[in-house]
Amino acid sequence: MPAPEAEFLDLVHENAARLRKIARVYTESAEGQRDLYQDILVALWRALPSFNGEAQRSTWLYRVALNTALSHERKRAVRSKATLSDDHPLWMDGLPTPGAGLEQKERLDRLYAAIDRLDTMDKTLVMMYLDDASYAVMADVLGISENYVGVKLHRIKKQLATWLEDTLT
């Protein structure tokens, strides 16, 4: 198999879960998540020749995936701006209230719901933080300084921790 194909498949299989989580954070419906996931795969394939090894592979992947997700979200946001509230409720319709024996899926749903309360750009930082990415990678992906990443992340973590403690205990 030619090298680009093999490289692409490696990349996708190594990062399938990460890409799927990005799709879930930036779209609500299952159909939207599928569309975005497909869009990201196509963007990765098309961008593959631009990966020259200068950036870390994870940095390159985050950039391609997040730029695609943000672009996808903007198209959706312009279409639905008139009907969406900026302040998403934490508890989504149909979810049970928190209880002692929350199942893994429910706990995950609530984690995603908490992330969904964040600003669009804060979500990118939180996802990378939860993936254990370094400040250097986050700074490279967003195009800002590491110090600024630190400042922003400090605030976001505090916010997220409060929401999680309120709802996931």
Partner 1 sequence: MNLDDAKALWSSDNEPTDPDMSTQSLSQSELLQQVKAQSAAFDRTIRQRDWTESVVAAAVSVFFGWLAWHDPSTLVTAGALLVVAGSALIFGRLRYARTRFAAPPVNEPVRQRLQRERAKVDAQIRLLSSVLWWYIAPLLAGLLLMTVGDNGWSVFTVVYGTVVIAGAAAIYVMNQRAVERDLRPRRETLTQLLNQVDSSADTQNDETGIAKRGDAIGG
47 binds partner 1 (CB under 8 A): yes
46 binds partner 1 (CB under 8 A): yes
> Between the CA of residue 122 and those of 97, 104, 108, 154, what are the distances in Å?
26, 24, 18, 11
- Out of 22, 26, 58, 64, name the contact with partner 1 by CB under 8 A: 64
Q: In 10 A of CB 81, how many CB atoms?
A: 9
CB of 119 to partner 1, least distance (A): 5
Number of residues that bind partner 1 (CB under 8 A): 61
Site string for partner 1, 1-40 (x = CB under 8 A): ----x--xx--xx--xx--xx-x------x--xx--xx--
- Out of 32, 116, 135, 164, name the contact with partner 1 by CB under 8 A: 164
Using CB under 8 A, list all residues that contact partner 1. 5, 8-9, 12-13, 16-17, 20-21, 23, 30, 33-34, 37-38, 41-43, 45-47, 50-51, 55, 60, 63-64, 66-68, 70-71, 74, 77-78, 81, 104, 107-108, 111, 119-122, 124, 130-132, 140-144, 148, 157, 160-161, 164-165, 168-169
